[in-house]
């Protein structure tokens, strides 16, 4: 059996790194890989946050929860934002009906809860949210 490639999301901006909880990158080995906003965060100060405990039996909706600390009250990341899928050696970003959409290699995908799907290639940058969102990541394919 030939090993399949995996992928990595690398934070390009400081805000993207902060959204990953202070980590610069996350390796993706399971597909589809669901990404959304962590909604269990209380903003304690401008530079710190407190993750709250999940209560009850709320289901895990995402594999990766991005932490968004909004100073203006505007949110760029939806709780169910996007999925990264793999089909053979190709990778795709699928908008999960997010409000702000995702910019993939300069092209807008989704937004206004309409969804959408596009291929993502090694080195492509993606902005989670609108064009002015500070959450910018680079997609990197890790050879098998």
What's the rounded Cα separation, in Å, for the pair 105 and 124?
Answer: 5
Per-residue pLDDT band at 14 (split at 50, 70, 90) = very high
pLDDT per position as a tens digit, 120-135: 999 999 999 999 999 9
- Tokens 């209380």 belong to 42
pLDDT per position as a tens digit, 69-93: 766 677 888 889 999 999 998 999 9
What's the rounded Cα separation, in Å, for the pair 86 and 101?
Answer: 20
Residue among 128, 140, 107 at smallest CA distance from 20: 128
> The whole model's pTM is what?
0.84
Expressed in angstroms, the distance from the first to the final Cα of the chain is: 12
What domains can you pick out in the chain, each with its CATH number?
6-142 (2.60.200.20)
Check residues 24 and 40 and name the one with the higher pLDDT: 24
pLDDT (0 to 100) of residue 46: 39
């Amino acid at each position: 059996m030939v090993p399949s490639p995996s992928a990595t999301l690398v934070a390009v901006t400081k805000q993207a790194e902060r959204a990953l909880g202070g980590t610069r990158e996350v390796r993706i080995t399971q597909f589809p890989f669901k990404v959304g906003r962590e909604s269990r965060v209380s903003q304690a100060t401008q530079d710190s946050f407190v993750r709250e405990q999940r209560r009850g039996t709320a289901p895990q909706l995402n594999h990766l929860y991005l932490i968004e600390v909004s100073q203006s009250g505007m949110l760029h990341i939806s709780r169910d934002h996007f999925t990264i899928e793999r089909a053979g050696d190709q990778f795709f970003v699928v908008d999960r009906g997010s409000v702000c959409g995702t910019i993939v290699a300069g092209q807008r995908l989704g937004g206004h809860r309409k969804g959408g799907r596009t291929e993502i290639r090694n080195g492509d940058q993606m902005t989670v949210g609108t064009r002015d969102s500070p959450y910018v990541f680079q997609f990197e394919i890790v050879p098998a």
